[in-house]
A and B are shown apart, each in its own frame.
Chain A
Amino acid sequence: MKEELFISGRDIPNIDPFLHIWHWQIPIYLYLGGLAAGILFFAGIFTIMGKEKDMKTTVKWAPFLVPGALIIGLLMLFLDLKHQLFFWQLYTTIRLQSPMSWGAWVLMFITPLSLIWVATYLKEVFPQWSWKFHFLEKMELLAVKNRKGMAWVMITLAVILGIYTGILLSAFNARPLWNNSILGPLFLVSGLSTGAAVIMWMTKSHYERKMMSRIDLVLIIVELFFITHMIMGMLAGSSVQIAAADLFLGGQFTVSFWVFVIILGLVFPAVLEILELAGYKIPVAIPAILILFGGLVFRFIMVEAGQITRYLY
């Protein structure tokens, strides 16, 4: 037999028997961060390519969701803190080795940028809108003239935000499920895919829907490759990593992962998109909702499963 026990009776809340210090707030924050990154990335890239006229929802309307998503995400992050009165300490220093510090600063820059982006399009939604002060009118003109520049900054920050949601987890080398470098790109692609799904759902233009639907299909296939890569990498790793992979291959997360994330969240929407490209009519809400749902469940599973995996005991 092989047995390891705490004989001094350790039972610390949230640490024993399994680590469970991050609860539902963190997966929601990671999800909203990825979603915002996806929408902003597409808004930026189509602006740079000069396709604002063809991709109106992508460039103008979908970004309206982003400030709200980011603020709710930040609120979730704030709620998760246990020493909330000191949250401002995050902004007194940049620690390049701590992904959490990166995230705090990226969010600090991308939230106002997304607000400015949305503000430049406010006049198109509310024609009577007028900035009360003259200097704000001037700033709006300045922003509108520099949209391409803003777009470049926006896609850079969006990619950093998307990758950061994954790197945040992969930096914790004590959690074998998370400690692999594919997690950053995986969460980025997942975020881009959820952003594309939202745009695909919101748009009324047939051309735009087709374009985003094709892009989403490619992103889903890439995401499936990355997930395969992640699991194969873990199975080829040390025994703690194999134990981590086993959580998805027969362990407690097998059903929810394969049914909700892979089949309902990725494969089935991909099949529906392929059918759509082949000419069948599909109500766009269904693949969009499935992709959004799959992304959310994926993050919940990753955060909870990761805390269960460990090196010792």
Chain B
Amino acid sequence: MRYAMAIDTRKCVGCSDCVVACQTENHVPFGFCRDWVTETVDGSYPNVELEIRSERCNHCENAPCVRCCPTGASHFVEGGIVLVTRNKCIGCGACIQSCPYDSRYSHPDGYVDKCTFCNHIVSKGGKPACVSVCPTKCMYFGNLDDPNSEVSNALKNRKHKVLAPEAGTNPQIYYLI
């Protein structure tokens, strides 16, 4: 069981519904966000390329945040999802320093927080809030080990990339380009 997400950058319009849905579903404090939308513009008219990506924690296979956590608060659960146990986290910030994607933040209550792939919904068979709410249906979530899942099909049929592969973390969010 290996959960992963595939996001179609050609269908994403940058509406940021995923950001708001996540903040609502997970009671993210005001001023913080667990996911965000990035726009990359390359070149000049008429040869301009635009890419819009919805980014979040990549739940990497070789997660440096899990490796660097001194208490084991950052850990893997079923499906490769990286979670933080709140009452084990001491707020040292080592995981924040070690994440190449800047996906973690220090919650005002003291512990470190980030995207959880909505584990509370997914473990019961649902989809993360951001995936459910996307109006262009450009986000696919599922089990990479299942060759018939949405994610596996998307990756089979389309060219895709990951962010900062040179960081060596083996991220599990694939951007369909």
The CA-CA distance from A310 to B101 in the complex, in Å, is 9
What is B's interface to A at a CB cutoff of 8 Å?
Answer: 14, 16, 19, 31-33, 36-44, 52, 64, 67-73, 87-94, 96-102, 105-106, 109-112, 163-164, 166-169
Given the interface pairs A100-B70, A174-B98, A310-B102, the reply to whether A1 lies near B90 with Cβ below 8 Å is no
The CA-CA distance from A3 to B87 in the complex, in Å, is 40
The chain B residue with its CB closest to the CB of A14 is: B106
The CA-CA distance from A299 to B101 in the complex, in Å, is 25
Contact indicator A90/B33 (Cβ below 8 Å): no
Contact indicator A2/B42 (Cβ below 8 Å): yes
Q: How large is the interface on A (under 10, 10 to 19, 20 to 34, 35 or more residues)?
A: 35 or more
What does the 1/0 interface line of A219-244 toward B look like (CB < 8 Å)?
00000000000000000001000000
| Chain A nearest CB, measured from B101 CB (Å) | 6
Kindly specify which of A36-44, A78-86, A148-156 makes contact with the partner chain. A78-86
Contact of A89 among B71, B106, B109 (CB under 8 A): B71
| Chain A nearest CB, measured from B83 CB (Å) | 16
Q: Cβ of A99: which chain B residues have Cβ within 8 Å of it?
A: 68
| Chain B nearest CB, measured from A233 CB (Å) | 16
| Chain A nearest CB, measured from B15 CB (Å) | 9
The verdict on A146 contacting chain B, using a C-beta distance below 8 Å, is: no
Q: Is the interface of B mostly helix, strand, loop or mixed?
A: loop
Contact indicator B90/A89 (Cβ below 8 Å): yes
Q: Cβ of A83: which chain B residues have Cβ within 8 Å of it?
A: 89-91, 109-111
Given the interface pairs A5-B39, A98-B69, A100-B70, the reply to whether A15 lies near B16 with Cβ below 8 Å is no
Given the interface pairs A14-B106, A80-B92, A82-B93, the reply to whether A89 lies near B73 with Cβ below 8 Å is yes
Q: Cβ of A87: which chain B residues have Cβ within 8 Å of it?
A: 90
Which of B42, B93, B97, B111 is the most central at the interface, judged by chain A CB atoms within 10 Å of its CB? B97
The CA-CA distance from A8 to B88 in the complex, in Å, is 31
The verdict on A182 contacting chain B, using a C-beta distance below 8 Å, is: no
The CA-CA distance from A80 to B93 in the complex, in Å, is 9
The verdict on A10 contacting chain B, using a C-beta distance below 8 Å, is: yes
The CA-CA distance from A166 to B106 in the complex, in Å, is 24
Contact of A86 among B37, B44, B89, B106 (CB under 8 A): B89
The CA-CA distance from A271 to B84 in the complex, in Å, is 51
7 closest A-B pairs by CB: A82-B91, A83-B91, A83-B110, A174-B100, A100-B70, A101-B70, A8-B37
The verdict on A130 contacting chain B, using a C-beta distance below 8 Å, is: no
Which of B32, B37, B92 is the most central at the interface, judged by chain A CB atoms within 10 Å of its CB? B92
The CA-CA distance from A307 to B99 in the complex, in Å, is 11
The CA-CA distance from A9 to B32 in the complex, in Å, is 10
Contact of A21 among B19, B90, B93 (CB under 8 A): B93
The CA-CA distance from A14 to B37 in the complex, in Å, is 19
Which of B71, B112, B163 is the most central at the interface, judged by chain A CB atoms within 10 Å of its CB? B71
Q: 12 A–B contact pairs at CB < 8 A?
A: A1-B44, A8-B16, A8-B37, A15-B105, A81-B92, A84-B91, A84-B110, A89-B88, A172-B94, A175-B98, A310-B102, A312-B163
The chain A residue with its CB closest to the CB of B100 is: A174
Contact indicator A175/B44 (Cβ below 8 Å): no
Contact indicator A7/B97 (Cβ below 8 Å): no
Q: Cβ of B64: which chain A residues have Cβ within 8 Å of it?
A: 172-174
Q: Cβ of A238: which chain B residues have Cβ within 8 Å of it?
A: 166
Contact of B37 among A2, A6, A98, A172 (CB under 8 A): A6
| Chain B nearest CB, measured from A241 CB (Å) | 10
Contact indicator A10/B100 (Cβ below 8 Å): no
The verdict on A93 contacting chain B, using a C-beta distance below 8 Å, is: yes
Contact indicator B97/A19 (Cβ below 8 Å): yes
| Chain B nearest CB, measured from A181 CB (Å) | 15
Q: Cβ of A101: which chain B residues have Cβ within 8 Å of it?
A: 70-71
Contact of B68 among A22, A93, A100, A307 (CB under 8 A): A100
The verdict on A13 contacting chain B, using a C-beta distance below 8 Å, is: yes
